[in-house]
Amino acid sequence: MSRKFLSDTYPGLSDSFEAQVHMIFSSLPISDRKIEEIEKATLSDPQFDILKCVILEGWPQCRSECRAQIVEFWNHRDKLSVNIGIIFKGHKIVIPTSLRALMLDKIHTGHMGVEKCIRRARDVLFWPKMSLDISDMVLKCSVCLERRNSNAKEPLEPHKIPQYPWQVVATDLFYWNNDYIVIVDYYSLYLEVNKLHDTTSTTVINKLKGTFSRLDP
């Protein structure tokens, strides 16, 4: 939002408060035109019309006396204020219902995850159940769903248990000062390590045959 818009619209606004509001608006990932849309949407929102009146005139003594249209703001009442036609919660802009879908799109720019989107929004925006709305939007985002599916790990497929020893074996070669072959029986989990003079196929096959002839009944 430009300083000219603030000054022209609210000529009595102090320089310090104008600077504070300008700083808040400058931090938002939305244009000056959108800020003006927030003000117009706030003015035309029946719920926010009631909310502004209660903020300016005072809240009732207890929740049961609060008007049903704005009871969802009850727990935040001490932090709500009205400035330049917009409702604030602290330094955060309270977004009217008609613009929340637009804000959700802005928040999810770049298709960040739920936590990052919530942190991004909480810095400058507020409405009741905003975090829940963000979470629901991200989890239903078609682009994010496609990314999650493409990055999903294949489920592990356990090996079938053999019916008898040496029906299924696993072997591998490794080097530790010399070449070795490791042989594992899937049935008994028996493990044997043998030294190799070389790793040619003939040497490996002969070593396996020797092991099987000794241990395979």
pLDDT of residue 71: 96
With b meaning 16 or more CB within 10 Å and e meaning fewer, what string describes 131-149?
eebbbebbeeeeebeeeee
pLDDT of residue 185: 86
Rounded to 10°, the helix 46-57/32-44 angle is 80
- Ranges of residues in the chain whose predicted pLDDT is under 70: 1-31, 151-154, 156, 216-217
pLDDT of residue 58: 95
**How many of the other CB atoms lie within 10 Å of CB of 104?**
19
Instruction: Region of 155 please: left (phi>0), alpha (psi -120 to 50) or beta.
Output: beta
Task: Say how many CA atoms lie within 13 Å of 61 toward its Cβ.
Answer: 0
pLDDT of residue 2: 42
Query: What does the pLDDT look like over 160-169, one tens digit per residue?
Result: 788 888 888 8
Q: CA quadruple 72, 122, 118, 143: dihedral positive or negative?
A: positive
Please, what are the domains in the chain? 12-147 (1.10.340.70), 169-215 (no CATH)
The pTM score is 0.58
Query: What does the pLDDT look like over 40-84, one tens digit per residue?
Result: 999 999 999 999 999 999 999 999 999 999 999 999 999 999 988
- Indicate the DSSP class of residue 60: -
pLDDT of residue 181: 92
179 bridge partner residues: 175, 196
pLDDT of residue 5: 42
- Indicate the DSSP class of residue 96: P
CA max distance for the chain? 99
